[in-house]
Structure 1
Amino acid sequence: MEVFDDRRGSAVMVAAFLALLYVGVTLVSLGPRSISLQGSLMSWTHSTATSVTQAHVSVRCDRSQRDYDLCSINGSSLLDPNSSTFFIMDPNRSNQTDVVMKIHPYPRKKDKAAISLVKEISIIATPPKVPCGVTHNSPALVFSTGGYTGNFFHDLNEGLIPLYITIQTIFYDQDITLVISDWREWWVRKYADLLLHLTHHPVINMDNQTATHCFPSVTVGLIKHGPMVINAAMIPHPQTLITFQELLQKAYSNTSNTLGLDNIDLKKHKSSRARPRLVIIQREGAGAGRVILNIEEVTAVSEEVGFEVEVLEPKQSSRLADSYSLIHGSHAMIGVHGAGMTHLFFLRPGSVLGQIIPLGTEFVSWDCFEKPARVLGLRYSKYEIEVAESSLIEKFKVDELVLKNPEAYVGGNWSNMHVYMKLQNVKLDIPRFQRFLKTVYENAREFMDKGY
């Protein structure tokens, strides 16, 4: 039994190593802190190699990545759900000292607030003292729906996109079983249509199991390439945000609308093609922050410019198939920087995304939404509000640093962003905003006139 806790390797090396683990390569022991993969391009050598002829189980934990830890067991293991522990089923280890590894399977490992909401998983390198209750023929991928799950941006950024990356990196074209800790029933129901395209098996709720489960191999944790990023160069079979978007299309384009969206007439937008359709994303409730305070005026001026307008206020209970139907059939979408802008993945290439950028959010607006929008082939426009359009003008004086120089006010301390993310709403200057809308309209009209 070999155990490795690597804090040095690169993401590319880890991806290649993990991919090889699951195609049955022969292991050769190179001493206590080294390993070589016969026939591969990768090896670690710290001592004279000694061949091992019999098959045995190895565990590897990569802790070198900025956002995530990843542990892999390349042989049979048993899950004891009562202790959230995986035991290595290697009889050669029965009389040896326990080696315990612990991991939070959520790709935001440096965020103490998020990780405090994620259960720790243990891997113990000794055989279990209990038998298998349920035996699975497919490998397990273990991750958490704790952390910031419940916010659509974080559902994708720390959940579905890393899940997609991990499957494409380690389990490409393989059958897998998903095992979830910190189970949230609504999450599984909300994303059920998508999960059906990732696994053929029922998703296992680790939190309510009473029986033990045995798997031929296990991966604990999810691979993350960055905020809203899929780096094709880091995946053996290159995938991108575009292929992830195509997966969303498969999951939601053929799903019938049964629940409907509040205040949205899904039939109307199918018949009206005289005007390009604009979806305005409105954040839910004044306490959410970054709400458009004069939404009625914004809607009216959007119609005056020439749009058919639908205002969408996403909720946790909103059915994604309905949101997909509305947005995918539209020509433009605008909204204030926030989780609702993640619906950009439902827009068609060539359609328009307009982002309203509140004070102090320029960098995160680029990282979270402008960058992926451009990768997906959307025509991107931004509207940076002026101080007079921010509700912070009612709380602070114009010459205070918080308004005069947000970057200096934040000073690299994310907690200072609270004032811009939670305390700030926007009241748009309608004449100024109308000029922005005209540009969005021209691009949307051009897209519609091409037959979309």
Structure 2
Amino acid sequence: MKACIWFSRMKAEKLGHAAALACLLMTAAFIVVLNRGSPPLAFLSLHLSIHAYLPYQTAQESRESGNGTQNLSPRLQENLQEHKPGYIGQQIMLTCDFSEPRSDTCSMTGDIRVLSSSHTLLLANSTENTSHIIRPYARKWEPQSMQYIKELTLKTSTDPHRIPSCNLNHSVPAIIFSTGGFLGNFFHDFTDVLIPLYVTSHHFNGEVQFIATDFNAEWISKYKPILQRLSRFEIINMDTDKNTHCFTFVRVGLMSHKVLGIDPSKTPENYSMIDFKKLVRATFQLKRGSVIQEKSGRKPRLLMLLRIGSRSILNEKQVIKMARRIGYKVVAARPNNMKDLRQFAKVVNSCDVMVGVHGAGLANMVFLPENSTVIQIIPWGGLTWACRHDFGEPAPNMGIKYLEYEIKEEESSLIKQYPRDHAVFRDPISIHKQGWNSLWSVFLDKQKVKLDLPRFRGLLSEVYRSLQD
């Protein structure tokens, strides 16, 4: 079987990497020349064309100082020394990594001032004056999207007279990130922030201060249970805060590896998506860690994610009836109407199979137990590569089985809107090449599906037998 992706997520293919040679107490500068990459079918960005690019990598290191982590507990000092890239003892440092395809990150170690009112971070007692600009959101390959993310200015200073005094001193590290961008879309909530935030912060065991720019109070309230698992402190609103906060370690930007996924080899303690799902289960008190065969006569539970409008299933009632005849206990849900995240997470976790047409709702797979199955219905229009990337590729790393059902021309509502010899059917990729607006309008926003019941029944029956076996 085939599987699915999403257009706004393009991999920037790195053709070169920096060769680094650093000597302690000496400044090193590295330039990484990176070529543009283009994925299959040249998919477009979420608003305009994607220009996949990687900026130059830079690193700034200054002389050793006595400031370092003097205010941190021994356990946190150990965390910083062992797990923070570029951290060397108590050295004053500003290091930035612009080489990753998904996100830019910078780390500051030493006597740091966070000046919220000017969105500036100042590192005191450096041996030279340097400056970097960073937008702390994990979609750097989308310049049209990133322009709406606030810039942060990171500076080092050699002049002690130009260092503002502290209003608040913090004995824990800080992580600064944006809650702007596409947040509010369930897929982006996890891909752009929650999973990267877990990777960047979990090893601090809650002893870390979050600072948010492009402050989204509604989003923070919705995901407060998860955020509180990662930090025991109230999040600082960088957009309205007037204080000068002092830290000895600050990370700006989040480490992001891939769509709905984690690369354990790049995490401080080899965390994986299985570990992230364990944290989510604990946060929402989800009972099921794995799907197991039950001899109690319990029917397998099948969750049908039902959309309203675009990409809705026109014959959803017949599909639900058919699934029940196969032997499933069907749970029909419209995720957009679910205001209580904790309650809906429990509904998802109670199910063995989840079915839905390609869309953000499929990201609810983070709540499914291991050994469950996701079936993605792929709309017409040459979208297979995109759908597979978003949900097909992440599923195995979550311990989830993935299947897909790719609809045929006769199952698409487009059959009533365009003649059969139109490019929509004859050459869908030519529509992609017209730009994001055309792709969205034709294949996503205006398309609905009417499933071929006998063909879809075969897939549901196959999954049902696997659950019985």
Q: Find the counterpart in structure 2 of residue 397 from structure 1.
A: 419
Q: Find the counterpart in structure 2 of residue 234 from structure 1.
A: 266
Q: Find the counterpart in structure 2 of residue 28 from structure 1.
A: 24
Q: Which moved more, 1:329-338 or 1:199-208?
A: 199-208
TM-score (norm 1): 0.78
Q: Find the counterpart in structure 2 of residue 306 from structure 1.
A: 327
Letter of the 1:365 counterpart? C
Aligned 1:244-255 pairs, distance under 5 A: 244-253=276-285
Equivalent-residue separation in structure 2 for 1:84 and 1:50 (angstroms): 23
Equivalent-residue separation in structure 2 for 1:143 and 1:154 (angstroms): 14
Letter of the 2:124 counterpart? M
Residues 203 and 8 (structure 1), Cα distance of their counterparts in 2 relative to 1, 3 Å cut: farther
Q: Find the counterpart in structure 2 of residue 193 from structure 1.
A: 225
Equivalent-residue separation in structure 2 for 1:372 and 1:159 (angstroms): 16
Q: Find the counterpart in structure 1 of residue 50 from structure 2.
A: none
Q: Which moved more, 1:119-128 or 1:305-314?
A: 119-128
Equivalent-residue separation in structure 2 for 1:105 and 1:253 (angstroms): 31
Match of 1:362 among 373, 384, 390: 384
8 Å Cα contact 1:157-1:228 kept in structure 2: yes
Q: Find the counterpart in structure 2 of residue 135 from structure 1.
A: 169
Match of 1:321 among 331, 342, 350: 342
Residue by residue, what CA displacement relative to the aligned partner does 1:82-133 show, whole Å, maximum 9, x if unpaired? 111111232x56xx7x533111100101213321331111112236553211
1:335 CA displacement: 0.5
Letter of the 1:175 counterpart? E
Higher relative contact order (CA closer than 8 Å, sequence separation 6+): 2
Equivalent-residue separation in structure 1 for 2:350 and 2:99 (angstroms): 43
Q: Find the counterpart in structure 1 of residue 120 from structure 2.
A: 85
Q: Find the counterpart in structure 2 of residue 163 from structure 1.
A: 197
1:307 CA displacement: 1.6
Q: Find the counterpart in structure 2 of residue 24 from structure 1.
A: none
Aligned partner of residue 421 in structure 1, secondary structure: helix
Unaligned residue ranges in structure 1 (runs of 5+): 1-6, 18-26, 35-43, 256-271, 447-452
Letter of the 1:279 counterpart? L
Aligned partner of residue 79 in structure 1, secondary structure: strand
Residues 226 and 10 (structure 1), Cα distance of their counterparts in 2 relative to 1, 3 Å cut: farther
Letter of the 1:178 counterpart? F
1:155 CA displacement: 0.6
Letter of the 1:163 counterpart? L
Unaligned residue ranges in structure 2 (runs of 5+): 1-13, 31-56, 67-89, 288-295
8 Å Cα contact 1:139-1:175 kept in structure 2: yes
Residues 308 and 325 (structure 1), Cα distance of their counterparts in 2 relative to 1, 3 Å cut: same
Percent of counterpart pairs with the same letter? 31
Aligned 1:405-424 pairs, distance under 5 A: 405-411=427-433, 416-418=438-440, 419-424=442-447
8 Å Cα contact 1:410-1:416 kept in structure 2: yes
Aligned partner of residue 450 in structure 2, secondary structure: coil
1:11 CA displacement: 10
1:304 CA displacement: 2.2
Residues 50 and 154 (structure 1), Cα distance of their counterparts in 2 relative to 1, 3 Å cut: closer
Residues 298 and 413 (structure 1), Cα distance of their counterparts in 2 relative to 1, 3 Å cut: same
TM-score (norm 2): 0.76
Aligned residues between the structures? 391
Letter of the 2:303 counterpart? V
Residues 407 and 445 (structure 1), Cα distance of their counterparts in 2 relative to 1, 3 Å cut: farther
Question: Is residue 216 from structure 1 mapped to residue 242 from structure 2 by the alignment?
Answer: no
